[in-house]
Each structure stands twice: as structure tokens, then as C-alpha cells.
Amino acid sequence: MNIKKQILIKLKRMESIFPELNFKYKVNFNLKSNTSMGEYSMNNDILYFNMNICKKTGFKIYEDIVIHEFAHLIINYKYGKNVLVHGKEWKNIMRLLNAKNISATVDFNKYIETNIKVICSCKEHFISKNRFTRLKNGQKYKCNSCKDYLKII
Ligand SMILES: [Zn+2]
Ligand SMILES: [Zn+2]
């Protein structure tokens, strides 16, 4: 499935957890930054997502960023500017939304490095840094679907 669609579905699911809130936010997929994975603009009520990074990490890893930014939105809707950005209220929302990583600063570069994109004949694969090093050194890995060897791109 298209990654943008996955993000939108995830947002809808999270919205349904807060039926008491009247959501009006907008979603923008054009965040271009090498360091910012996602952002929430409190003033404009816009969630920004970074597709360049999302494509590198895959949705499964990026999902936590979607939760992270959505939790900021929830905090804004519930408390406005009266609480800390990554305070205990935010952490509680993160837990409620089943975020894997509750900490405020997530080093997603680590994930990008450890999920390197390679290809076979049928699709893209994301492999760990260690596996990538072994692949570079001549180790062969086969795709389970097409039985072709994984290739570095
Ligand atoms: Zn944050
Ligand atoms: Zn394949």
C-alpha cells in the first residue's frame, strides 16, 4: 500500500480514540528536511510528514513519527500551550496510542542506517547494516518471492 495512504489510515484510527475532539487539522506530506522526520504546527494545525525519510525507513518504523506528531496535536487540542511539549501528558498520549518509542528525541538516522534499501527482481527490501555489509562482502541472499539474489543499488 501507498505510504501516504497508510499514514492517513493511521491518523483516522487514532482520531477514533478521541471522539470528544473536533478534528480540523490538515496533513502536509512536503516536509523537506534531512533532520526533521515530522512536525506539528500548533498555530496552523498542520501535521507535516517527511516522505524522503519515510520512504527510507518504511512505514513500520515511520509509524512512531506519525504517532509522535499526532500526540502533539492531541496535546494542543486538549491543553493548548499550558503543558510541556514532551511532558507527562504527551507521554501518556504516546502510551495510549501504543508508540514503540516514548522518548522525545528519537534518532531515526539510526533506523535509516540500519535499514538499507536493496532490490531483487520483484521489489525493494530493507536490510540491516550488518546484513548489508555481508552482502557487500559477497554473501548471497535470496528474495523469498522471486528467488532472485538481493542486489545493492
Ligand atoms: Zn516532539
Ligand atoms: Zn523478489
Backbone dihedral angles phi then psi of residue 151, each to the nearest 5 degrees: -125, 145
Interval between CA 113 and ligand 2 midpoint (Å): 22
**Nearest ligand to residue 125 Cα:** 2
**Nearest ligand to residue 65 Cα:** 1
Alpha carbons 134 and 146: distance in angstroms, whole number? 21
pLDDT (tens digit per residue) in 78-135: 999 899 989 999 999 999 999 988 877 765 555 555 678 899 999 888 887 888 889 9
Contacts of residue 93, defined as CB under 8 A and 6 or more positions apart, other chains included, come to: 71, 74, 75
* Mean per-residue pLDDT over the chain, rounded: 90
pLDDT (tens digit per residue) in 12-28: 999 999 999 999 999 99
Interval between CA 126 and ligand 2 midpoint (Å): 12
Helix (H, G, I), strand (E, B) or coil at 57: helix
Interval between CA 141 and ligand 2 midpoint (Å): 11
**Nearest ligand to residue 106 Cα:** 1
Residue 149 clears pLDDT 70, i.e. is over it: yes
- For 3-106, CATH number out of 3.40.50.970, 1.10.287.890, 3.30.2010.10, 3.30.420.40 equals 3.30.2010.10
**Nearest ligand to residue 84 Cα:** 1
Residue 152 clears pLDDT 80, i.e. is over it: yes
Domains in the chain: boundaries = 3-106, 115-152
Rounded mean pLDDT, 35-53: 92
User: Would you state the pLDDT for residue 16?
Assistant: 97
Cell of 106: 528519537
Cell of 102: 516514548
Cα torsion 1, 98, 41, 36: sign: negative
